[in-house]
Structure formats: C-alpha cells, structure tokens
Amino acid sequence: MLLQQAPDYPIETFVLEAIADAPAAHLCHQFVKGDINDYETVLQFGRSVDVLTIEIEHVNVEALFQLEKEGIRIFPKPAVLQTIKDKGLQKQFYEKHNIPSPAFVLTESERDVLNHLNFLPAAHKLRTGGYDGKGVQLILNESAASLAFSEPGVLEKLVVIEKEIAVIVARNETGETAIYPPTEMVFDPDLNLVDYLLSPAELNDKQTSQAQQLALQVCNAFNSPGIFAVEMFLDDEGKLWVNETAPRAHNSGHHSIEGNYCSQYDMQLRVLQNLPLGNTNSIQPSLMLNVLGEPGHSGKVKYVGLDAIMDLSNVYIHLYGKTTTKPGRKMGHVTILGSSTRELMTKAEVVRNSLKVESE
Amino acid sequence: MLLQQAPDYPIETFVLEAIADAPAAHLCHQFVKGDINDYETVLQFGRSVDVLTIEIEHVNVEALFQLEKEGIRIFPKPAVLQTIKDKGLQKQFYEKHNIPSPAFVLTESERDVLNHLNFLPAAHKLRTGGYDGKGVQLILNESAASLAFSEPGVLEKLVVIEKEIAVIVARNETGETAIYPPTEMVFDPDLNLVDYLLSPAELNDKQTSQAQQLALQVCNAFNSPGIFAVEMFLDDEGKLWVNETAPRAHNSGHHSIEGNYCSQYDMQLRVLQNLPLGNTNSIQPSLMLNVLGEPGHSGKVKYVGLDAIMDLSNVYIHLYGKTTTKPGRKMGHVTILGSSTRELMTKAEVVRNSLKVESE
C-alpha cells in the first residue's frame, strides 16, 4: 500500500524481500530478493538507498545500526526497533518513561512463571518473534502456569479490558507530529485477529483526548521520525494502558486510505521525505474488516462474492496480492465508510456474508 | 494512476509502451516494450490478456478489431476508438445521434477552408493526430483562412463559450452507468492547456442535470463499456454543445482520486472486471492544477517548493514519474480540497507560486 502511493512523489522505490514473487516486487523501481534477517544482505541493500523504512519489525537491527553510522536515514531509528522487537525491553522502556502499561515481570522459563503466581491472571508473551497473536499465552491459574513456554518472556498482569484502541502518530525529522483519531479494535476470540475496526473509536471527548496525548507521549519518548501505532487498553475504570507499539504503518490505520484526508501511507511517505505532515481528520466514520482465508481452503486463491460487496456504496477492497490462501491467512481488507455505526454494521454484515476467500 | 489502484483487486496487469523506462514499467506485473501503433505488436500483446484498455486513443485499431473477433474484451470498443480518433467521424457521429455539437464541415485542404468563409470565425482541427491543443487553428477571418493547414480537417463554427465543462460517465458490460458531477475547465490561453479545474462545476441545478444527461446520451450512443469524458461548451445563451469525447480516464477526472468517493481509476477497474460501479459523489469541492515544466528548463527534472505546498491542508500531489522536463510539459497534477471556491483559489495561488518544475 505504501508502494501504491509512492509514485505520487519524486522518489524511487527499492524493496528487499525474501520471496521473488512478493506482492511488492512488481510495484517498485528495483526489487532485491534477500533475507531481511541477514546482516550482509540488509547492509548491502541499505547502502543502495538514501532513506530506509520497514513494514515489519523482524529485520536485522545490527545492520541498521551500521547503516545509520554510515549516514543512511532510517525511520524508525534502529534503537526504536531494537526496543520494540523485544517485548521485555519495550515494557522496561514504558516503565522508564512513566508510560502506563500493565505491571510485568520478565521470565526465563516456566519456573519463573510459577514464582510469580501473584501476577495471575496474566498474559505470557514471548519476548521476541511473536506476531499477530502468536507467541501469547493466557495464564489464568496455577495449573496453566505449569504449561508456560520456557523461552524468555514477559508475564503481564491482565487488565479488565473495556475497549482495545489504537492511536497512530506520525513524526518527521523536523519534529512535527500528527495524531490520528483513535480507532477501536474488536477481536475475533477464535483467531485472535482483529475482526473489525471502527474509526473514530466510540469514546467520549476526554477519553479521545487522553488516548491521543498518551500516544504522543509514547512517540516523543521514542524520539524518532516514523509512524507509530500505539495500541492501548481502556480498562473498566476508564484508565488507559499502553499494550504495545508498532513503529510502522499498521492494520489499525488501513481505514485511513479512504477514511481520512491523509492516509497512513501518504503520511509515511511524507515522513521519509521530511515533508510537512498531512491532515489526520476523518472524512466519514469507517469500519475495517480483515479479509481472511476461509477454513478448509488452502492453495491458489480465488475470491468469491466481490460483486455483492462492490454493489454497496462506499465499500473499498484492498487485496494484498498473495497468490495462495490458507485458513485464517490475512489476504486483504475491506474499508467501509458510512454516516453512522449502524450503517457501517449493516454493510459489514453483507461483506462478511458475501466475500469468501477460497482456493481454486 | 490506474496501476496504482489495480493491486487492490484480484487482477494481474500487463502494460505495452514504447519506452523501456516508462513510468508504468515498474508498476505492473509484466511490462512489454513495443509500439502501440504497430499491428503485430498490439495483436501479440492483446492475445496475452483477458481484457484490454487504453490510456490514449492513438493505438492500432485494426489490431484491436482482430482481437475483439478473437474474444478479447476491449473497453472502449474498437469501433468507439475508430470514431473518436478521427474528429471528422466523431462530428458525424454526434450529428447522426442528434447530439448538439458545433456546426462543422470536413476539409481536405486550405482551399476547402476558403470555400467556407461563412463558417468563420471557426476552429480548424486536424482530423487525426491532434492532442492537448496541438493540431487546432483558430481561424477568425479570411486572411487567416489562407494559412490553414492542408491536411484533412474539421472546420467548426465557434461557439461563444461561457464555460468549458466535462462530465465523466462510466459504463460496465451489464449496462450500468455512473455519472460524475460536472467539472469546469479553465484554460491557460498561452499554452492552450487546462490551467485549473473546479469540481463540481459552478452551474445551477438545471445546467448540472442537463450536462449529466447529455454526457449519458453520448455514452449510450457509443454503446460500449468504458470511461467517457464528455467535454462540452456552455454558450452565452445557456445551451450545451458537445466539443469532443475522450473514451478513457481523463485529466478532467484527476481530482476524483481524493475529491470523490470512487475515483475514475477505481471506476475503470470496476468496468474492466464488470463489477458494480462506485459512488461518484464529491467528498468536498476540489480544484485541480496541472504541474507543468517551467519555461527555460529542459533536462533531468527537479521539483522545487514541494515543502510549501504539502504544508497546506488537503493538498495532494501526483507526479507522473517522467524523468525529464521541458517547458510546458505535463509532469503531474495537484488536487486541492476545500469547503469553498475562495479557499480553493487561495490554496491554488500558493501552489502556483511555490511549486516549480525545473531541470537539475
């Protein structure tokens, strides 16, 4: 999606990706097939460009530190990536900067979990390598604690979640910041993936303002140009807790392509060029649905029901160009604009019932 | 711009273009370097795809007719292209379908012009090969008539133009149509290129409705799926005259990327897939400015003043990825959204004074 918007600006795009037929491969000026976790590969690639950004945190940070020394502009800064890639360091970072985040303890093994039964019920997260709900255990009681993974982790006291929200903040090299309206994420408990997302979130003015201030505080603490999606919990007492931050364009900002005057991708391109930031205001309330592979379907992808959803007014599909599907795989998203939550929900129901990702 | 939107849908894109480093070359799945005017080249290219469209009329139509016989879907239909490519046939088409268009006579040489002095003051247009104001002579009196070109042309009685407007209509294979609000084109008399474009046009409700009906009549007469930009004159008596039709996405619809719920490119992609058409409503009034090469600058392009224009709220730049500039060359466009014409004009003035296309 970044590459779809990039041609608007006077820039050339270079992409490093492990898969030769990656969806990005045909949308850039130069595609380099290579492993983003390999030091030499990232180093050589980085030396060929003026400014680097990422779409996933799991990249070789040592190479980025070296490139930064050599004068390559990197957003977010490698130090931010290093902190965020490790949920332990990330939690310590919030603690150090007085950013409210659920109480935690670092664990090395299941024994450490058993030593902190006072933290239960808790979430136990792998310090590194987790993604989209993978690498997270819910540990509600002592008997579950004995099943905890034994890799380094973070044991986090559960917050009673009223709402799960995200606020995207952009910052350029000049230090200018732009804050999007909060978005509300509703999760599918089975897949532990965002089921749908409402933007703006249904919060009162004070909550909205507090969420935006908190996101800005996180962004300023990281002290780096970039796009930051700050994920938060609103608890049953109205208090906000930072869950985690993604230092990049994020699923919780996909609706901004049609729903806001400046999309998160346009914003990211402005950051990369150190241009003034855009207008984050909503055009209309929006609802975003992930398009996931149907259960029972694996292989070459086929989309069913596109006609029915395009027949709805102000419904937009964004497929990610993946050639094969499997159950639950994120294959794209649909953004819906509407004047009320009720209208959004009605259209979402049609989308959910009509659009199916099957295999041929 | 079509290729920037295409990845949203489950389609693969193939592009035929004469220049290896064409801006489109890095935005499609497969790029073929070749001459769009060569019969064999177009035939072979067309056989490799399911559906064909064009971004310029000047393509080998004989090859398209052959491909149509072979079952390739082509939008607009080759017959439409054949009619529109030749301004003489296009005028006869309007006459046959009772579409109001300025009175005309076909000419073979300057002698024919001298034989029709009763048509003066007139526009004398090359029947084929004209583009963006090229190949058009204004012949106001007998002495100018003797300087008329001698290639086949159309001599057209001048209409007293109050406003120049365009209405874009889309039609899919099912026969569904969608009509955009009229846009108003204001020309730069020196370059004879659109200086800026306002959308919706400042017309009263009756004029708006008549312009949309007329555009629909033209689209229905062509009887082909596609995107049609119907350019019209509103004369000093309030009568509408069709000037010409572009059977493709058009400069007069560029504002629709940000200014309307469904852009002309999204619409074209829906047409190509025979999907239901999108919502043509305006999000906000918009003004579109072409970005032209500065006088005195030729060579490798450099954009000056981008910072100043991106600092304005709801101002969007679209560069076309051309690597070299020359005076007056169309290098991109800027779309401005605003709540009033006054706001649009104020921002446009800043854009005009700030953004310069220079050479390195």
pLDDT of residue A168: 98
Q: How far A268 CA lies from chain B's nearest CA (Å)? A: 13
Nearest CB to A317; choose among B8, B301, B317: B8
What is the average pLDDT score of chain A? 95
pLDDT of residue A193: 60
Q: Do the chains contact at B7 and A23, CB–CB below 8 Å?
A: yes
Residue A176 domain flag: yes
Please report the number of interchain residue pairs, chain A to chain B, with beta-carbon separation below 8 angstroms.
81
- DSSP letter for B7, please: G
CA-CA-CA-CA dihedral for A307, A308, A311, A313, to nearest 10:
-130
- Chain A residue closest in CA terms to B11: A321
pLDDT of residue A132: 61
Judge whether residue A25 has pLDDT over 80. yes
Q: Name the pairing type of β-strands B356-359 and B104-107.
A: unpaired
Residue B270 domain flag: yes
Residue B273 domain flag: yes
Per residue in A200-219, pLDDT (tens digit) is: 999 999 999 999 999 999 99
Residue A87 domain flag: no
The domain that holds A28 is classified in CATH as: 3.40.50.20
Residue B83 domain flag: no
Q: Do the chains contact at B275 and A310, CB–CB below 8 Å?
A: yes
Instruction: Looking at the structure, tell me whether residues B40 and B70 fall in a common domain.
Output: yes
Nearest CB to A27; choose among B7, B275, B301: B7
Instruction: Looking at the structure, tell me whether residues B123 and B214 fall in a common domain.
Output: no
Q: Do the chains contact at B23 and A7, CB–CB below 8 Å?
A: yes
Among residues B117, B135, B157, which one ends one of the domains?
Answer: B157
Residue B89 domain flag: no
Instruction: Looking at the structure, tell me whether residues A42 and A126 fall in a common domain.
Output: no
In chain B, the number of structural domains is 3
Q: Which amino acid is at B55?
A: E
Instruction: Looking at the structure, tell me whether residues A194 and A315 fall in a common domain.
Output: yes
Nearest CB to A275; choose among B273, B310, B318: B310
Contact, A144 vs A133, CB < 8 A?
A: no
Q: How far A12 CA lies from chain B's nearest CA (Å)? A: 9
Instruction: Looking at the structure, tell me whether residues A125 and A35 fall in a common domain.
Output: no
Instruction: Looking at the structure, tell me whether residues A145 and A67 fall in a common domain.
Output: no
* DSSP, residue by residue, A263-317: -HHHHHHHHHTTPPP----BSS-EEEEEEEBPTT--EEEEEE-HHHHHTSTTEEE
pLDDT of residue B130: 74
Q: Which residues of B touch A313 (CB under 8 A)?
A: 261, 279
CA-CA-CA-CA dihedral for A150, A153, A155, A159, to nearest 10:
-130
Nearest CB to A303; choose among B7, B10, B317: B10
pLDDT of residue A144: 86
Region A338-357: mean pLDDT is 95
Judge whether residue A146 has pLDDT over 80. yes
Instruction: Looking at the structure, tell me whether residues B327 and B205 fall in a common domain.
Output: yes
Residue B79 domain flag: no
Residues of chain B with pLDDT under 50: none
Instruction: Looking at the structure, tell me whether residues B169 and B228 fall in a common domain.
Output: yes
Q: Do the chains contact at A8 and B314, CB–CB below 8 Å?
A: no
- The range of the structural domain enclosing residue B175 comes to 161-359
**Nearest residue to A103 (alpha-carbon basis) of A155, A138, A161, A164:** A155
**Nearest residue to B101 (alpha-carbon basis) of B205, B214, B22:** B214
Per residue in A242-267, pLDDT (tens digit) is: 999 999 999 999 999 999 999 999 99
Instruction: Looking at the structure, tell me whether residues A198 and A250 fall in a common domain.
Output: yes
Instruction: Looking at the structure, tell me whether residues A296 and A193 fall in a common domain.
Output: yes
pLDDT of residue B132: 61
Cα separation, B30 vs A25, in Å, equals: 11
Kindly report whether the peptide bond that precedes residue B121 is cis, defined as omega within 30 degrees of 0.
yes
The domain that holds B108 is classified in CATH as: 3.30.1490.20
Instruction: Looking at the structure, tell me whether residues A185 and A111 fall in a common domain.
Output: no
Nearest CB to B275; choose among A13, A266, A307: A307
Cα separation, B187 vs B164, in Å, equals: 9
Judge whether residue A189 has pLDDT over 80. no
Cα separation, B107 vs A205, in Å, equals: 70
Q: How far B4 CA lies from chain A's nearest CA (Å)? A: 5
Q: Do the chains contact at B317 and A26, CB–CB below 8 Å?
A: no
The domain that holds A276 is classified in CATH as: 3.30.470.20
State the ipTM, two decimals: 0.94
- Chain A residue closest in CA terms to B307: A275
Residue B326 domain flag: yes
Contact, B202 vs B162, CB < 8 A?
A: no
Contact, B172 vs B271, CB < 8 A?
A: yes
Taking CA atoms, B247 is separated from A17, A109, B164, B250, in Å, by 39, 67, 18, 8
Q: Which residues of B touch A282 (CB under 8 A)?
A: none
Contact, B170 vs B268, CB < 8 A?
A: yes
Nearest CB to B307; choose among A9, A258, A276: A276
Cα separation, B256 vs A201, in Å, equals: 28
Residues of A with CB under 8 A from a CB of B: 4-5, 7-10, 13, 23, 26-29, 258, 261, 266, 270, 273, 275-276, 278-279, 283, 301, 303, 306-307, 310-311, 313-314, 316-319, 321, 332, 337
Instruction: Looking at the structure, tell me whether residues B174 and B144 fall in a common domain.
Output: no
Among residues B53, B74, B95, which one ends one of the domains?
Answer: B74
Cα separation, B43 vs B56, in Å, equals: 17
Q: Do the chains contact at B261 and A313, CB–CB below 8 Å?
A: yes
Label residue A191 by pLDDT band (50, 70, 90). Answer: low
Per residue in A93-107, pLDDT (tens digit) is: 999 999 999 999 999
